[in-house]
A and B are shown apart, each in its own frame.
Chain A
């Protein structure tokens, strides 16, 4: 499988495998059975299915990890199967029928993506490839390539997504023995959208970046820089028309050695979809976004250096405090009002700094990560900034959660499924 990834220029391992490599104790996936892998390639989509154990696997009859590769993206899902008794009896007696029962699909951290009860998949494939040690016939030691042409009558439903077509929208099949896989997760449909760049929600931005390998790799570069360098590193992300490299061309921008911040000189008319940067280990560096980071969005917006629609723009940070966040514009009107009153000149920015550092927010490099995160989210909400904070997975930048503040000023994080 590693060979396949190498050939396809995937620098990063799928997060599920990367996490298992790190042997952390708090993982949702407790065991991956790599002795038997189902490998399907179909019209540019490749999927690998592993039988796995999870922390809550007593709730299900069996669970499979599905890793799907297409274009430059890796997607990972866990399928938890709880078949009907009749289906299980038939399966046990060797009668392989369309799956019937409950199917819960989660991400690799166990967060629910969808739950289909009584699903009856109409396209059924069985591709079991046993592979045991030295006797393994497979070229890379793990699995064997199968080119499977399938015809689905489609029970996946959904639509509206402008993603690639779903070769297998009907869902899982033959869950009993490392079954095949649904390279997609039942969405499918491939909706048509005439607007090439429609406004999307903060969570949608997070979901897209989750599976954008070049983006995750670049965040990895920032992580390395945050931990080892003594300057701020950044990248401007400019959309390319080809869709290559995850859809963005990256321009590196670095700050001065031992300095705070980066001087970014932009050309009029240059438009960027994002800016990501590091906060390295330094006395005043925050574990969250600084006032000057907020001002950066404001200035880029003011100078017309943000792609249209502005709501799709994101500012990212990776810090030496082992935090990573995205900031997006959720309400442009509110952001303009906020910026006009708090970011329009250096004195106003200083006053915002006073608000940052005074109670109740007290955002400072001396405070804990969680304090700064919650206080920053509260400040964004209470000051009506129109900005939305998202928290990321520092290990591999796979997955983002919105950091939300309710009307009682309580903070919750909500994973973007």
Chain B
């Protein structure tokens, strides 16, 4: 663990996930960093057969109000065109570097990360046409290429009225993207 003091008001403790003591309990002010997040920062494009897809991912610091603990997270925007017609337009939600969980109460980012592992990250993508969120698995391939594979979001859901389930995705189910340096 590394200890750093930054602001005049609170002491921030940077927590290295590789050096966590056995019985560590996250404390308010802790910042649990992720060593793989920067690997995914950047712009990704696909241009093929009249289909154009653009995705931008930025590293931000997500701080959870309830616990006071911060994490690295990817946020971004996407654009999807078919035959030059915009189907899903870019929608940048958060401009600040630091995002809090309360920022999420009324707005939902167009794209954000869930799990960030080595060479693979799970993204949550808003499908504004189908009015639902989907999961995208972004996997690093060779030669600067990445695979973005979509799947329906899982989990048990409880409702008191018949849920309207819209199957499928507006985006192609799998895309091979090129990361723009």
- Could you tell me which A residues sit within 8 Å of B by CB distance? 232, 234, 255, 259-268, 277, 284, 290-293, 295-296, 299-300, 303, 305, 338, 341-342, 345-348, 350-351, 353-355, 357-360, 378, 382-383, 408-410
Tell me the smallest distance from the CB of A100 to a CB of chain B, in Å: 48
A234 and B158 CA atoms in complex are apart in Å by 13
Tell me the smallest distance from the CB of B39 to a CB of chain A, in Å: 16
Q: When the two chains form their complex, are residues B66 and A259 in contact, meaning their CB atoms are under 8 A apart?
A: no
Contacts A341-B65, A354-B73, A359-B20; is A259 near B157 (CB within 8 Å)? no
Q: Which B residue's beta carbon lies closest to that of A296? A: B156
Extra pairs beyond A305-B160, A350-B124 (6, CB < 8 Å): A234-B156, A277-B156, A303-B158, A355-B64, A355-B67, A360-B20
Interface check B32, CB cutoff 8 A: yes
A82 and B103 CA atoms in complex are apart in Å by 67
A355 and B64 CA atoms in complex are apart in Å by 9
Interface check B165, CB cutoff 8 A: yes
Q: Which of B45-53, B107-115, B139-147 contacts A (4 or more CB under 8 A)?
A: B107-115
Q: When the two chains form their complex, are residues B101 and A263 in contact, meaning their CB atoms are under 8 A apart?
A: no
Q: Is the interface of B mostly helix, strand, loop or mixed?
A: loop
Q: Which A residue's beta carbon lies closest to that of B155? A: A292
Q: When the two chains form their complex, are residues A342 and B155 in contact, meaning their CB atoms are under 8 A apart?
A: no
A-B contact pairs, 16 of them (CB 8 A): A234-B156, A259-B152, A263-B157, A291-B155, A292-B156, A293-B156, A305-B158, A341-B65, A345-B105, A353-B114, A357-B115, A359-B17, A359-B32, A360-B24, A378-B25, A410-B23
A360 and B104 CA atoms in complex are apart in Å by 24
In the complex, what residues of B have CB within 8 A of residue A293's CB? 156
Tell me the smallest distance from the CB of B36 to a CB of chain A, in Å: 12
Tell me the smallest distance from the CB of A248 to a CB of chain B, in Å: 19
A263 and B165 CA atoms in complex are apart in Å by 10
In the complex, what residues of A have CB within 8 A of residue B156's CB? 232, 234, 255, 261-264, 277, 290, 292-293, 295-296
Q: When the two chains form their complex, are residues A300 and B158 in contact, meaning their CB atoms are under 8 A apart?
A: yes
A300 and B157 CA atoms in complex are apart in Å by 10
- Digitize B1-38: 1 where CB-to-A-CB distance is under 8 Å, 0 elsewhere: 00000000000000101001001111000001010000
Contacts A351-B64, A354-B114, A358-B17; is A267 near B155 (CB within 8 Å)? no
A357 and B69 CA atoms in complex are apart in Å by 14
Across the interface, A266 reaches (CB within 8 A) one of B73, B154, B160, namely B160
For chain B, the bracket of interface size reads 35 or more
A303 and B163 CA atoms in complex are apart in Å by 14
Tell me the smallest distance from the CB of A341 to a CB of chain B, in Å: 4
A146 and B162 CA atoms in complex are apart in Å by 57
Q: When the two chains form their complex, are residues A284 and B154 in contact, meaning their CB atoms are under 8 A apart?
A: yes
Contacts A351-B62, A354-B73, A357-B115; is A382 near B159 (CB within 8 Å)? no
In the complex, what residues of A have CB within 8 A of residue B17's CB? 358-359
- Digitize B149-176: 1 where CB-to-A-CB distance is under 8 Å, 0 elsewhere: 0001111111111110100000000000
Q: Which B residue's beta carbon lies closest to that of A267? A: B160
Q: When the two chains form their complex, are residues A409 and B66 in contact, meaning their CB atoms are under 8 A apart?
A: no
In the complex, what residues of A have CB within 8 A of residue B114's CB? 350, 353-354, 357
Q: When the two chains form their complex, are residues A348 and B159 in contact, meaning their CB atoms are under 8 A apart?
A: no
A205 and B8 CA atoms in complex are apart in Å by 50
A408 and B22 CA atoms in complex are apart in Å by 11
Tell me the smallest distance from the CB of A415 to a CB of chain B, in Å: 23
Across the interface, A292 reaches (CB within 8 A) one of B71, B157, B160, B161, namely B157
In the complex, what residues of B have CB within 8 A of residue A295's CB? 155-156, 158
Q: When the two chains form their complex, are residues B162 and A265 in contact, meaning their CB atoms are under 8 A apart?
A: yes
A346 and B23 CA atoms in complex are apart in Å by 30
A338 and B65 CA atoms in complex are apart in Å by 12
Q: Which B residue's beta carbon lies closest to that of A302? A: B158
Contacts A262-B156, A268-B160; is A409 near B25 (CB within 8 Å)? yes
Contacts A354-B73, A359-B32; is A261 near B155 (CB within 8 Å)? yes
Q: When the two chains form their complex, are residues B101 and A261 in contact, meaning their CB atoms are under 8 A apart?
A: no
In the complex, what residues of B have CB within 8 A of residue A382's CB? 25-26
Q: Which B residue's beta carbon lies closest to that of A409? A: B23
Tell me the smallest distance from the CB of B151 to a CB of chain A, in Å: 9
- Residues of B112-155 at the interface with A, using a CB-CB cut-off of 8 Å, are 112, 114-115, 124, 133, 152-155
A347 and B105 CA atoms in complex are apart in Å by 8
In the complex, what residues of A have CB within 8 A of residue B34's CB? 358
Across the interface, B158 reaches (CB within 8 A) one of A260, A264, A338, namely A264
Pick the 5 closest A-B CB pairs, nearest first: A260-B154, A292-B155, A347-B104, A261-B156, A299-B158
- Residues of B52-72 at the interface with A, using a CB-CB cut-off of 8 Å, are 62, 64-67, 69, 71
